[in-house]
C-alpha cells in the first residue's frame, strides 16, 4: 500500500476549495432550478463519481463488479480524502441554507 502524505496547508486549502466550489455550484443551481436542496441530494452521486474510477455504464452492464470496486474504493479512503469530500457536502448544504434564508427574508428571485 502506498503512503498518502498530504501537508496540513494543502489539506486546508483543498477543504476550503471544495466548500467554496460546491457552495457556488449549489447556490447557482438552487437559484436557477428553484429547488433548495437539489445539490445536497446530488452531491453523494457526484462524490461517488469522483471516488470511483469505473465507467458509469459499467453499473448497468456489470453491476456486481462495479459495486464491488466501489466498495473497495470507499473502504480504502484516507482521512484527508474524507475531510475534503465532507467539506464539499458542507458547501452544498450551506448553499441550501443560504437560499432558504434569502427566500425567507423576502428575496423573490431566489
Q: What is the mean pLDDT of residues 12-16?
A: 97
Q: What is the mean pLDDT of residues 9-36?
A: 92
Tracing cell 464491488 back to the chain, one arrives at 68
pLDDT in tens, 69-104: 999 999 999 999 999 999 999 999 999 999 999 989
Q: pTM score, two decimals?
A: 0.84
Task: Check whether 2 has a pLDDT greater than 60.
Answer: no
Query: At residue 34, what are phi and psi to the nearest 5 degrees?
Result: 55, 35
- Identify whether 82 is part of a domain: yes
Looking at residue 50, what is its pLDDT?
87
- Identify whether 69 is part of a domain: yes
Structural contact between residues 84 and 19, judged by C-beta atoms closer than 8 angstroms: no
Provide the grid cell at 7.
501537508
- Identify whether 3 is part of a domain: no
pLDDT in tens, 29-71: 988 888 888 889 999 998 988 898 888 899 899 999 999 999 9
Would you call 84 helix, strand, or coil by DSSP?
helix
Segments forming the whole domain that contains residue 13: 9-104
At residue 16's C-alpha, the angle toward residues 106 and 6, to 5°, is: 165
Provide the grid cell at 79.
482521512
- Identify whether 67 is part of a domain: yes
Q: How many domains does the chain have?
A: 1
- Identify whether 2 is part of a domain: no
- Identify whether 16 is part of a domain: yes
Return the H-helix or E-strand segment holding 30: helix 8-33
Task: Check whether 7 has a pLDDT greater than 50.
Answer: yes
Looking at residue 109, what is its pLDDT?
67
Amino acid at each position: 500500500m502506498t503512503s498518502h502524505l498530504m501537508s496540513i496547508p494543502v489539506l486546508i486549502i483543498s477543504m476550503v476549495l471544495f466548500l467554496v466550489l460546491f457552495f457556488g455550484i449549489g447556490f447557482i443551481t438552487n437559484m436557477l432550478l428553484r429547488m433548495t436542496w437539489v445539490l445536497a441530494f446530488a452531491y453523494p452521486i457526484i462524490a461517488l463519481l469522483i471516488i470511483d474510477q469505473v465507467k458509469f455504464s459499467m453499473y448497468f452492464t456489470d453491476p456486481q463488479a462495479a459495486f464491488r470496486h466501489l466498495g473497495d474504493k470507499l473502504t480504502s479512503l484516507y482521512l484527508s480524502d474524507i475531510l475534503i469530500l465532507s467539506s464539499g457536502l458542507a458547501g452544498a448544504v450551506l448553499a441550501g441554507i443560504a437560499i432558504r434564508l434569502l427566500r425567507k427574508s423576502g428575496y423573490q428571485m431566489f
